[in-house]
Amino acid sequence: MMTAATMMNAASVESEVRAASAPLLLEVSGLSARYGKVPALTEAALSLRAGQIVTVIGPNGAGKSTLLNAMMGAMPAGAAASGRIAFQGEDVSQMEVEERVARGLSLVPEKRELFTSMSVEDNLLLGAYKRRRNGESGYLDQQEFVYALFPRLKERRKQAAGTLSGGERQMLAVGRALMAKPQVLMLDEPSLGLAPLITKEILSIISQLRSTGVATLLVEQNARAALQVADYGYVLEMGEIVCEGPAGVLAADKRIVESYLGVAREPVELIQRNVSS
Ligand code: ATP
Q: How far is CA 217 from CA 14, 68, 72, 188, 200, in A?
A: 19, 9, 12, 9, 16
| Residue 55 CA to ligand 1 centre (angstroms) | 18
| Nearest protein CA to atom 14 of ligand 1, as residue | 63
Instruction: Give me the pLDDT at residue 239, please.
Output: 96
Q: What is the DSSP string of 63-97?
A: SHHHHHHHHHT-PPTTEEEEEEEEETTEE-TTS-H
How far apart are the C-alpha atoms of 265 and 273, rounded to whole Å? 17
Q: How far is CA 181 from CA 14, 112, 132, 169, in A?
A: 27, 18, 12, 19
From 65, 107, 186, 191, mutation site for ligand 1 pocket: most ligand atoms within 8 A of C-beta: 65
All domains of the chain in start order, with CATH: 4-104+184-272 (3.40.50.300), 116-181 (no CATH)
104 Cβ below 6 A of ligand 1: no
Q: How far is CA 1 from CA 15, 127, 249, in A?
A: 22, 48, 19
What pLDDT tens digit does each residue of the chain (277 aa) get?
Answer: 344 444 444 454 555 555 567 889 999 999 999 999 999 999 999 999 999 999 999 988 999 999 999 999 999 999 999 999 999 999 999 999 999 999 999 999 887 788 889 999 999 998 887 777 777 777 778 899 999 999 999 999 999 999 999 999 999 999 999 999 999 999 999 998 888 889 989 999 899 999 899 999 999 988 888 998 999 999 999 999 999 999 999 988 777 867 774 443 344 444 555 544 3
Instruction: Give me the pLDDT at residue 15, please.
Output: 55
36 Cβ below 6 A of ligand 1: no
| Nearest protein CA to atom 27 of ligand 1, as residue | 76
How far apart are the C-alpha atoms of 216 and 203, rounded to whole Å? 11
